[in-house]
């Protein structure tokens, strides 16, 4: 009798779990197969980049948005745009959303809406692997002759100003150009969030590393035109991904020190 009750209980629990999963799925908005235009840079590993081995775009943004699309029933259409035009492009309705490792800030919130945060990052410094003049972020700040590269118009530039002052900063439009300038010796360091830094270390194995030390954390979020109903749907999708562990799995796949950009299987 006891065994029969245990089997019955297990069966009831299975039915309850199934019902809960069905209820969760039913609670998610259905976007009816609509096309959603998603802005990406395709030059910011591991978030989005062109995979050298295949020539196809990939990264965290592609995996996460496609998972959201499957849950919310929409068709993502990724469009490449330079970083300096991305926020304005979303604000004016050129894109339905942007997914590019974007930091949520009060200044940006004046012109766009943000999703719930999907990750927290900390700014760090990228240097050449053979750099010996400074070992930590604090030591770099005291090395007055060292030049710090930052991308125009993003929070890394603001943090760079706070760290070393404007006179030591060399600004570039494209992040890929910053990396090339660092590799060639035109810069002594580049400021970047830790996740993106891991991506570029992986993309330049044996050539770059990150200094010890980090600045205060910042939240990453997806971006929408102000008042867009898509934001609430994406938030619910992210919530469901967080609840069932799929968001953590995607993050562990791409946000890892083992990331290597030459492969689509980090």
For 168-206, the pLDDT digits (tens) are: 999 998 888 999 999 999 999 999 888 888 888 888 878
pTM here is 0.71
Q: Which residue has the tokens 């999703």?
A: 115
Three state DSSP letters for 57-92: EECHHHHHHHHHHHHHCEEEEEEECCHHHHHHHHHC
Q: How far is Cα 188 from Cα 183, in angstroms, rounded to an integer? A: 9
Asked if residue 7 has pLDDT above 70, the reply is no
Which two three-digit tokens encode residue 3? 């065994």
Asked if residue 113 has pLDDT above 50, the reply is yes
Beta bridge partners of 221: 102
As a whole number, the mean pLDDT across the chain is 87
Q: How far is Cα 184 from Cα 72, in angstroms, rounded to an integer? A: 45
Please tell me which residue, 49 or 13, carries the higher pLDDT value: 49
Q: Which pLDDT score is estimated for 54?
A: 85
Q: Which pLDDT score is estimated for 20?
A: 38
Which two three-digit tokens encode residue 231? 């934001």
- Whether omega for the bond prior to residue 46 falls within 30 degrees of 0, making it cis, is yes
Asked if residue 45 has pLDDT above 90, the reply is no
Q: Are 96 and 81 in contact (CB under 8 A)?
A: no
Sorted by where each starts, the structural domains of the chain and their CATH numbers stand as: 31-119+219-254 (3.40.190.10), 120-217 (3.40.190.10)
Q: How far is Cα 60 from Cα 50, in angstroms, rounded to an integer? A: 12
Q: How far is Cα 108 from Cα 115, in angstroms, rounded to an integer? A: 13
């Amino acid at each position: 009798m006891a065994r029969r009750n245990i089997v019955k209980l297990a069966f009831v629990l299975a039915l309850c779990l199934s019902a809960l999963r069905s209820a969760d799925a039913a609670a998610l908005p259905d976007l009816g197969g609509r096309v959603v235009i998603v802005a990406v840079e395709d030059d910011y590993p591991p978030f989005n980049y062109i995979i050298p081995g295949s020539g196809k775009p990939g990264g965290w943004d592609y995996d996460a948005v496609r998972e959201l699309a499957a849950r919310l029933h929409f068709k993502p259409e990724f469009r490449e745009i330079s970083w300096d035009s991305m926020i304005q492009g979303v604000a004016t309705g050129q894109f339905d959303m942007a997914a590019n490792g974007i930091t949520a800030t009060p200044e940006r919130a004046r012109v766009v809406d943000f999703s719930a945060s999907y990750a927290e990052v900390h700014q760090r410094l990228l240097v050449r692997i053979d750099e010996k003049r400074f070992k930590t972020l604090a030591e770099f700040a005291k090395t007055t002759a060292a030049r710090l590269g930052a991308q125009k118009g993003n929070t890394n530039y603001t943090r760079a100003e706070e760290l070393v002052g404007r006179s030591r900063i060399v600004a570039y439009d494209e992040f890929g150009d910053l990396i090339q300038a660092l590799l060639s010796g035109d810069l002594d360091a580049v400021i970047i969030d830790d996740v993106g830094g891991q991506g570029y270390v992986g993309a330049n194995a044996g050539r770059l590393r990150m200094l010890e030390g980090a600045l205060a954390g910042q939240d990453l979020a997806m971006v929408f035109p102000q008042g867009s109903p898509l934001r609430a749907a994406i938030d619910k999708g992210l919530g469901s991904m967080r609840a069932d562990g799929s968001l953590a799995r995607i993050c562990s796949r791409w946000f890892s020190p083992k990331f290597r950009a030459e492969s689509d299987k980090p």
